[in-house]
């Protein structure tokens, strides 16, 4: 972890210490790692991390692929294809993520006559919601590439797919990497919403512990720190990738 992130983490820790100095009635015993009970509670809280990561990573992979497939038609000169892109982006972007999660989990199975697990309902809802944004990011990135690159590709006889794969996308992805990093961070945070349909991820675990321990302040503070650490790691990863690709 680099220096900047260390500073951020220290600031966050300082902030938490400051909170403990407030007149609030703190009861850190619920998550005290020196007691068996605290240990059990901490383990319980951290056990949600697997689903938070699995959910976010699966959803972002799907949404990047769907986003790219939705973006490409927008770059053609065919009005029907451009229309498809506009309708998809406008419709999907207009649905609040929480509503999308509820609709996919409770509505869609009834519509299609299928059953769906909480995990896949969460993945589909998050991926779908995010794909509209990914599509716009890809469109902007691809459109920022000079048309001379397409023309040069044409003169060395590259097909459309080879031009995209070897010339346009590698350059576009470098440019949109900060925006893609943003979406991954956003995805990690939005995965907390899937707790409402019972996904056993970080937020759900915290909610359940609050119900049994009745110490929301301490437990939600831990939850907050869990997301902070996760996202700082992702940020550092994205910056590392940016540096590597810019060489």
* Contacts to other proteins by CB under 8 A: 146, 148-149, 151-152, 154-159, 162, 166-167, 170-171, 174
Q: Which of 183, 150, 146, 185 is nearest to 164 (CA)?
A: 150
Q: Count CB-CB contacts under 10 A for residue 85.
A: 21
Rounded to a whole number of angstroms, the minimum distance from the CB of residue 175 to other proteins is 11
Which residue, 48 or 141, is less far from other proteins as judged by CB? 141
Q: Measuring CA to CA, which residue among 107, 129, 104 is closest to residue 119?
A: 104
Contact 64, 134 (CB under 8 A): yes
CA–CA distances in Å: residue 148 to residues 135, 140, 163, 166? 23, 17, 12, 15
Shortest CB 69 distance to other proteins, Å: 22
**Joined tokens for residue 151:** 């023309």
Query: Is residue 104 exposed (0-12), middle (13-18) or buried (19+ Cβ within 10 Å)?
Result: buried
Name the residue nearer to other proteins (CB basis): 79 or 147: 147
**Residue 8 or 175: which CB sits closer to other proteins?**
175
Q: Which residue carries 């512990």 as its tokens?
A: 209
> Of the two residues 171 and 207, which places its CB atom closer to other proteins in the complex?
171
To other proteins, the closest distance from the beta carbon of 245 in angstroms equals 9
133 by DSSP, 3-state: which?
A: helix
* In the complex, least distance from residue 238 CB atom to other proteins, rounded to whole angstroms: 19
Closest to other proteins by CB, 114 or 156 = 156
Min dist CB 214 to other proteins, Å, is: 56
């Amino acid at each position: 972890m680099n220096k900047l992130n260390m500073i951020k983490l220290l600031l966050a820790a300082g902030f938490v210490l400051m909170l403990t100095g407030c007149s609030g009635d703190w009861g850190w015993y619920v998550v005290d790692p020196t007691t068996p009970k605290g240990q059990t509670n901490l383990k319980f809280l951290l056990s949600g991390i697997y689903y938070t990561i699995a959910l976010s990573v699966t959803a972002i992979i799907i949404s990047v692929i769907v986003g790219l497939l939705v973006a490409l038609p927008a770059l053609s000169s065919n009005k029907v294809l451009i229309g498809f892109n506009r309708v998809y982006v406008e419709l999907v972007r207009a649905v609040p993520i929480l509503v999308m999660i509820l609709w996919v989990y409770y509505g869609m199975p009834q519509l299609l006559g299928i059953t769906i697990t909480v995990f896949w309902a969460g993945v589909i809802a998050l991926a779908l919601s995010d794909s509209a944004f990914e599509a716009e990011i890809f469109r902007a990135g691809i459109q920022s590439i000079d048309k001379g690159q397409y023309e040069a590709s044409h003169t060395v006889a590259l097909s459309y797919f080879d031009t995209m794969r070897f010339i346009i996308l590698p350059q576009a992805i470098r440019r949109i990497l900060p925006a893609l990093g943003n979406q991954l961070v956003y995805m990690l945070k939005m995965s907390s919403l899937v707790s409402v349909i019972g996904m056993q991820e970080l937020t759900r675990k915290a909610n359940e512990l609050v119900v049994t321990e009745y110490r929301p302040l301490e437990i939600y503070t831990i939850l907050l720190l869990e997301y902070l650490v996760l996202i700082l790691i992702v940020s550092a990863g994205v910056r590392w990738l940016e540096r590597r690709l810019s060489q």
